């Protein structure tokens, strides 16, 4: 059973990562810096619980705030460029943050052993959960509490005026600007919310794996972050969840018996999925179809 | 000071490879307004295919390895076009971004799978030669890399500016609709652009093998990042920009490797990119606006 709890933890954290990219993608921007905000949340909250002895919840809060602040800071200069230039700018920023953590040492002695991040070796002994006697199931529930809260918030945003503005900017920013939408405010605020969500995800990730290092936040993680919402479809937050379950649950865990071949299949299936469903699994037409199905029953 | 100049010189020579990769990204961007994320992976893949020659014929001459890398690079380029671009509507830019990322992972994994993840030795060229000019020395293999890369660039520029295919390519990159109205088969031009960039990439991959001495799947991601940085610094869609930026990034990177060590080197390359994004967001040779 613990195996499934562990899988659910993984799916929860990756859902947060995907959702952080989802809200940025709604405004039509592709950010490959989500892994960087994820890393900042992970390192900051882990340092707060391990080195400063904080409780996990405020530590995650600070991690989210710092992730949001960094995203906001990146948003302004990066938004001078558009479209594909932004992809590359954020990619370079993400790599820059990763290399920063690769060179980052801050260790203090605690109870005879040195703890804290140590450059290429990473940050070991993030033992908040075992020290406080949390079981795997409790950790899973804790992670999913955050994941569900964020999903509800994004669902609500999607149905609010702000969500409509986000999608308007995503569809055609020129048209949105001409009806008086402040593009900078919308894009930077979407980046900031995305940064906060990635920060929360990073904090949870650091504590359930107990060991983080720079390579846990590389370009691949950043591409996974945007892959979930794109493969799942941008019409609904459930698309992201569906894609995370498909990728982490089915491709990574479900196909474990295939051994090496699993990795080969992984890339091929993404290529195939994009060829067959260029707008994602849950695109607008599919959603409308599902809604009609349920509407028909009610009528 | 002398060490610094020497480091910059070596870096600029190696930067010719970055320039080739940058050209590949920039040409595809110019024609289709899309990024082909699988490009660097396909280039390394082409170089691996070149090594297949040595499997068949153990004492094959080096030029045959290079030729095979070139050819299979072109073939891989066409395959990438077919699987990641041809069937996906132009109106969904995110889908092609994702499909090429999938292709990147696939090529990486095929390499890892077929070589058991071990780095493969690549035949070096002129690696014993050392040219000396006063205090400076030039590594023969880097000079060879530079010379071949320059030849590739000249061939590409001739293709772009002296042939009908080049004319068509430039027309499509300026105005795809107008080009189609003039009777240019846009899909064919797109596919041929992928073949041409694939040829360049296969060559670049083999050059990396020749100068580093080994090929490893670990090369693909850093090379993708470097190539994209070169593309942005040079200006998206600009071939001369990619050449200048490639040499610039190569020299800059090697200079900082001398000062700050190999682990911090790339951090300064990213900083260089951000300096460009803030002060010259269009890149060195920004394309004039007004497309579409």
Q: Which residue has the higher pLDDT, A161 or A219?
A: A161
B280 pLDDT tier (thresholds 50, 70, 90): confident
Query: Which of residues 106 through 125 in chain B touch A, CB cutoff 8 A?
Result: 106-110, 112-113
Answer yes or no: is A236 within a domain. no
Region A9-38: mean pLDDT is 92
| DSSP conformation class of B287 | P
Residues of A in contact with B92 (CB under 8 A): 278-279
Contact A60, A204 (CB under 8 A): yes
Q: Which residue has the higher pLDDT, B110 or A253?
A: B110
The C-alpha of B150 sits at a distance from chain A's nearest C-alpha, in angstroms, of: 26
3-state secondary structure of A93: helix
Answer yes or no: is A54 within a domain. yes
The most confident of the ranges A74-78, A92-96, A191-195, A232-236 is A191-195
A296 pLDDT tier (thresholds 50, 70, 90): low
Region A45-52: mean pLDDT is 89
Q: Which residues 6+ apart lie within 8 Å of A89 measured at CB?
A: A78, A81, B232, B273, B274, B277
Q: Which residue has the higher pLDDT, A291 or B111?
A: B111
Domains for chain B: give ranges and CATH numbers: 2-279 (1.10.3470)
A122 pLDDT tier (thresholds 50, 70, 90): confident
**How many structural domains are present in chain A?**
1
Answer yes or no: is A129 within a domain. yes
Answer yes or no: is A277 within a domain. no
Nearest to B31 by CA among B207, B165, B217: B165
Mean pLDDT for chain B overall: 87
Answer yes or no: is A75 within a domain. yes
**How far apart are alpha carbons A165 and A236 in whole angstroms?**
16
Task: State CA B155 to chain mean position distance.
Answer: 15
Region B120-139: mean pLDDT is 77
What is the predicted pLDDT for the residue at B287? Answer: 58
Q: Which residues 6+ apart lie within 8 Å of A41 measured at CB?
A: A60, A63, A64, A66, A67, A198, A199, A200, A201, A202, A203, A206
What range defines the domain where residue A165 resides?
A: 2-218
Q: Does B278 sit within 8 Å of A274, measured CB to CB?
A: no
Contact B38, B104 (CB under 8 A): yes
Query: Which of residues 39 through 58 in chain B touch A, CB cutoff 8 A?
Result: none
Closest chain A CA to residue B88? A275
A224 pLDDT tier (thresholds 50, 70, 90): confident
A285 pLDDT tier (thresholds 50, 70, 90): confident
Region B83-100: mean pLDDT is 86
Region A271-279: mean pLDDT is 86
Q: Is the pLDDT of residue A84 over 70?
A: yes
Answer yes or no: is A36 within a domain. yes
Q: Which residues 6+ apart lie within 8 Å of B34 measured at CB?
A: A84, B28, B85, B93, B96, B97
Region A147-161: mean pLDDT is 93
Mean pLDDT for chain A overall: 87
Q: How many CB pairs under 8 A join A and B?
A: 133
Nearest to A217 by CA among A10, A32, A23: A32
Q: Does B281 sit within 8 Å of A25, measured CB to CB?
A: no
Q: Which of B88, B93, B277 sits opposite A275 (nearest CB)?
A: B88
What is the predicted pLDDT for the residue at A78? Answer: 66
Region B195-206: mean pLDDT is 94
Answer yes or no: is A296 within a domain. no
Find the range with the poorest average confidence among A71-85, B111-125, B173-187, B217-231.
A71-85
Nearest to B184 by CA among B195, B173, B194: B173
Contact B197, B23 (CB under 8 A): yes
Contact A111, B278 (CB under 8 A): no
Percent of residues, chain B, with pLDDT higher than 70: 98
What is the predicted pLDDT for the residue at A298? Answer: 46
Task: Identify how many contiguous H helices and E strands chain B contains and give both numbers.
Answer: 11, 4
What is the predicted pLDDT for the residue at B291? Answer: 43
Q: Is the pLDDT of residue B153 over 50?
A: yes
What is the predicted pLDDT for the residue at B284? Answer: 83
Region A287-296: mean pLDDT is 78
Q: Is the pLDDT of residue A95 over 90?
A: no
Question: Which of A218, A271, A283, A284 is best to mutate for the B interface (most B CBs within 10 A)?
Answer: A271
**How far apart are alpha carbons B110 and B251 in whole angstroms?**
32
**How far apart are alpha carbons B22 and B46 in whole angstroms?**
16
Answer yes or no: is A34 within a domain. yes
Q: Does B266 sit within 8 Å of A263, measured CB to CB?
A: no
């Amino acid at each position: 059973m613990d195996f499934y709890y562990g899988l659910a933890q993984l799916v929860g954290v990756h859902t947060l990562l995907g959702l952080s990219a989802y809200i940025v993608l709604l405004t039509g921007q592709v950010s490959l810096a989500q892994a960087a905000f994820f890393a900042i949340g992970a390192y900051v909250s882990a340092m707060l619980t391990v080195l400063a002895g904080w409780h996990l919840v405020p530590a995650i809060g600070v991690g989210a705030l710092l992730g949001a602040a960094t995203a906001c800071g990146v948003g302004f200069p990066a938004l001078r460029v558009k479209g594909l230039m932004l992809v590359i700018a954020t990619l370079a920023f993400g790599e820059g943050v990763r290399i920063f953590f690769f060179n980052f040492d801050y260790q203090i002695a605690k109870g005879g052993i040195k703890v804290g991040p140590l450059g290429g070796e990473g940050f070991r002994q993030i033992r908040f959960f075992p020290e406080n006697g949390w079981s795997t199931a409790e950790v899973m529930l804790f992670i999913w509490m955050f994941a569900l809260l964020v999903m509800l918030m994004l669902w609500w945003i999607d149905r609010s005026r702000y969500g409509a503005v986000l999608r308007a900017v995503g569809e055609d920013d020129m048209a949105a600007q001409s009806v008086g939408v402040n593009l900078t405010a919308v894009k930077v605020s979407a980046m900031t919310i995305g940064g906060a969500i990635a920060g929360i995800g990073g904090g949870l990730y650091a504590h359930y794996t107990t060991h983080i290092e720079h390579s846990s936040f590389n370009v691949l993680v950043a591409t996974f972050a945007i892959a979930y919402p794109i493969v799942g479809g941008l019409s609904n937050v459930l698309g992201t969840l569906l894609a995370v379950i498909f990728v982490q649950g089915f491709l990574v865990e479900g196909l474990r018996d295939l051994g090496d071949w699993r990795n080969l299949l992984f890339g091929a299936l993404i290529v195939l999925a994009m060829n067959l469903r260029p707008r994602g699994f849950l695109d607008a037409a599919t959603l409308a179809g599902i809604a009609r199905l349920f509407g028909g029953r009610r009528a | 000071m002398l060490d610094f100049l020497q480091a910059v010189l070596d870096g600029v020579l190696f930067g010719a490879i970055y320039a080739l990769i940058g050209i590949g990204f920039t040409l595809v961007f110019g024609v289709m307004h899309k990024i082909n994320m699988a490009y660097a992976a396909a280039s390394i893949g082409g170089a691996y295919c070149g090594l297949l020659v040595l499997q068949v014929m153990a004492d094959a001459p080096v030029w045959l390895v290079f030729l095979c890398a070139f050819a299979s690079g072109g073939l891989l380029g066409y395959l990438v076009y077919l699987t990641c671009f041809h069937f996906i509507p132009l109106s969904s830019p995110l889908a092609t971004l994702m499909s090429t990322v999938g292709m990147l992972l696939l090529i990486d994994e095929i390499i890892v799978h077929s070589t058991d993840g071990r780095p493969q030795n690549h035949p070096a060229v002129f690696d014993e030669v050392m040219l000396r000019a006063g205090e400076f020395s030039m590594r023969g293999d880097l000079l060879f890399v530079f010379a071949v890369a320059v030849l590739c660039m000249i061939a590409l520029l001739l293709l772009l500016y002296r042939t009908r295919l080049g004319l068509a390519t430039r027309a499509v990159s300026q105005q795809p609709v107008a080009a189609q109205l003039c009777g240019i088969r846009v899909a064919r031009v797109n596919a041929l652009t992928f073949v041409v960039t694939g040829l360049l990439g296969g060559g670049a991959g083999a050059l990396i093998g020749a100068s580093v001495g080994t090929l490893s799947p670990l090369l693909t991601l850093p090379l993708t990042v470097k190539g994209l940085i070169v593309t942005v610094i040079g200006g998206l869609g600009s071939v001369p920009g990619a050449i200048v930026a490639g040499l610039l990034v190569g020299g800059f990177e090697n200079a900082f490797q001398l000062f700050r060590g190999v682990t911090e080197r790339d951090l300064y390359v990213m900083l260089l990119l951000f300096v460009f994004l803030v002060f010259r967001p269009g890149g060195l040779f920004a394309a004039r606006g007004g497309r579409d």
